[in-house]
Amino acid sequence: MIEITIQNIVASTIFAEKLDLDMIAHSLEESEYEPEQFPGLIYRLKDPKTATLLFRSGKANCTGAKNIEDVRKTINIIADRLRKIGIDVFKDEDLGITVQNMVATANLEGEFNLNEVAMGLGLENVEYEPEQFPGLVYRIDEPKVAMLIFNSGKIVCAGARIEEDISIAVEKLKKDLIALDLLQ
| Rounded distance between C-alpha atoms, residue 4 and residue 150, angstroms | 16
Taking Cα atoms as reference points, which of 107, 128, 102 lies closest to residue 170?
A: 107
Number of domains making up the chain: 2
The pLDDT value given to residue 115: 94
Question: Where in the sequence is the domain holding 70, given as residue range(s)?
Answer: 11-99
Instruction: Give residue-wise pLDDT tens across range 57-86.
Output: 999 999 999 999 999 999 999 999 999 999
Instruction: Give residue-wise pLDDT tens across range 91-115.
Output: 877 788 999 999 999 999 989 999 9
DSSP secondary structure letter of residue 3: -
Name the pTM for this structure. Answer: 0.91
- Give me the residues of the chain with pLDDT under 50, please: none
**Residue 138 sits in the same domain as residue 156:** yes
CB of 155 closer than 8 Å to CB of 105: yes
The pLDDT value given to residue 184: 73
Q: What is the CATH number of the domain that holds 95?
A: 3.30.310.10
The one-letter amino acid at 100: Q
**Considering the domain boundaries, does residue 28 fall inside one?**
yes
**Residue 58 sits in the same domain as residue 120:** no
**Residue 61 sits in the same domain as residue 15:** yes
The pLDDT value given to residue 179: 94
**Residue 91 sits in the same domain as residue 113:** no
